[in-house]
Structure 1
Amino acid sequence: MKTIDTGVGDPPDYYLDDIQIEETSYPVEFTIEPDAGKWLHVNSYSIFLVDAYAATLADATMPLLFYDKLLGVSSLENGILYRRNISGEVPLSFPFRNLGDILMFPGARIENYGADGTNAFLKILVDMGEPIILRDENDDNISFQVADNLTSLIKLVISANCKEEQR
C-alpha cells in the first residue's frame, strides 16, 4: 500500500476490513488440551470448509463432491495430521488429505452443504461415540498438524465439542 500526499494536512488513515496473512513456515500445530487441574471430555469434531467452487450437479439434485479432493482443492501432499496423545503414548495418528480420508474416520458424516454458484461450504461431523477424556495430570492432548499450504481454501475451521470437568 502506498500513500500519495496530494496537499496540505495529514495523509489519510487506512482501515482494512479483510486481511489475509500467508506464511510459508510449515507445519503449524493446533492443540486441544485440558486446563490445569481439569479433565476435558471431547465428544465430537466439526470440520468446516469453504472454497471458490461451483459444486452442484447440472440438474441440482445433489452436491458434486469428489472423494479425492477438499472441495476444489486437489488432495493435499502431506495432509492434516490428527494425533491423539494419551498418557505419553500416541494410540491414534491419522493423516487426512482429502474428503475420502475424512469420511473413512469412524463416526464421520457430512452434516451440511451449501453453495451459491460461486463458493461452496461443507461441514463434516466426526462423532467419537464415547467421549475421549483428556487428563491434565497425564499431559493428554489432541492435535491437528497442518503441513500444507491451505491458502487456496477460503476457510478451514476444525472445532471440538467438549465438556470440562473440574478435578
Structure 2
Amino acid sequence: MEFGKWLKIGVVTYILGASAVHANEAKAVYDVTSGDSAKIEKEMIKSIKNVTAHYKGQNKEFKTIVVISGDAYKYFIEELAESPYATDKSALEIQPKFRAVFKELNDDYHVTFKMCSAGMKARGIKMETLYPFVHADAIKDVYLIDAQNDGYAYIPVH
C-alpha cells in the first residue's frame, strides 16, 4: 500500500480515537466573582454536584475548573485572620461550611480551583493564606482562555 493511503488511515484512526476519548467527558469552567455566599452555593456548589450526577448517570466524567476573582476571594482563604478579610462578617460566618464543601469538591469531585494572582496582589492576599488546593500561578484571563481553548464550557457566577 502506498504511503499516502497509510497516512490517511492513520489520521482517520487518530481522529476517531481522540473523539471517542472526549465523548466520555464534559467540561466546565466556573467564573466565580460573586461575593454573595448564597449565589456561590446555588450557582456553583449545587450546580457542580447536580451536573456531575447528571453526567455520571450517562457514564461520563465531568471535569470542572473554578476560577476565582472579584468579590469571591474571601471565601477561598483559609487563614482569614492574616488576610484583608479578617473582619469580614460574611466570610467569617460561612467559612466553616465552605471550607468543608470546597474540600469535598476538590477531593471527591476533582474540582480544580484557580485564583487570579493579579487580584491577589492588588488586595494583599498571600499565597500561604489560601486553602492548599487553591492554585494561583496566573491571571484570571489566562485561566479562562486556556480552559475555553481546551473545550470547557463557560459558566459565570457573578
TM-score by length of structure 1 reads 0.26
Which structure: greater helix fraction?
A: 2
Bigger CA radius of gyration = 1
Which structure has more RCO (C-alpha within 8 Å, separation ≥ 6)? 1
Which structure: greater strand fraction?
A: 1
TM-score by length of structure 2 reads 0.27
